[in-house]
Amino acid sequence: MDTASSTPRGGVESLLDEARARTLALVEPVSEADLNRQHHPLMSPLVWDLGHIAAFEDLWVCREAGLDLLRPDLAEVYDATETPRPKRADLPYLRRDEAVAYMGAVRERMLETRAVAAGQRQDRDDDVGDLVDAQQPTRQGARGRRDDDSEDDLQRDLP
């Protein structure tokens, strides 16, 4: 898949923001009772999934940036491999306002981490560019001709 042509201006942050806005718009009209209800044993309570989204993004940010989890107390609650769906309704998961706040805090941290990483990449690129520039000798030909010497100057130097 050619992501260069499908990634909008703003990069991955823009895509993540769009997905988050759509997710929150989908659950906005859902009542608190319906968000917290486990409608079927094969389904998590919908609000559990909101917390899971935040916990997974936090895990991703922490692995990439070498940071600690924002909410290590939630790691087991939102670990889908450790919490079978039929048991998720009994877990101490976050309710709507808490889950949305957690999502926002994780996203803010992700954006800050990416900005710092982008600055570090730019600094490294600048350092590499400076190093390359410092290592480049003035390009000269056999007679000491530099690239900016004119042909007339070269002719004068001939015997």
End-to-end alpha-carbon separation of the chain, Å? 62
Q: Is 80 domain-assigned?
A: yes
**80 exposed, middle or buried (CB, 10 Å; 0-12, 13-18, 19+)?**
middle
| Residue 93: band (very low, low, confident or very high) from pLDDT cuts 50, 70, 90 | very high
Which region among 45-49, 90-94, 128-132 has the lowest average model confidence (pLDDT)? 128-132
Task: Mention every residue, 6+ apart, whose C-beta is less than 8 A from residue 158.
Answer: none
Residue 140 sits at φ, ψ, to 5 deg, of -135, 150
| Residue 141: band (very low, low, confident or very high) from pLDDT cuts 50, 70, 90 | very low
Q: Is 84 domain-assigned?
A: yes
50 contacts 27 by C-beta, under 8 angstroms: yes
Q: Is 47 domain-assigned?
A: yes
pTM of the shown model: 0.68
State both tokens at 16.
């993540």
Position 46 scores a pLDDT of 96
For residue 100, the one-letter residue type is V
The boundaries of the domain holding residue 28 are: 11-118
**Domain count along the chain:** 1
State both tokens at 139.
């390009």
Higher per-residue pLDDT: 69 or 3: 69
Q: Is 109 domain-assigned?
A: yes
Q: Is 159 domain-assigned?
A: no
d(CA 58, CA 119): 21
Q: Is 54 domain-assigned?
A: yes
Q: Is 125 domain-assigned?
A: no
Mean pLDDT to the nearest integer, 31-37:
97
Q: What is the mean pLDDT of the chain?
A: 81
Which region among 49-58, 59-68, 120-129, 141-150 has the lowest average model confidence (pLDDT)? 141-150
Position 132 scores a pLDDT of 56
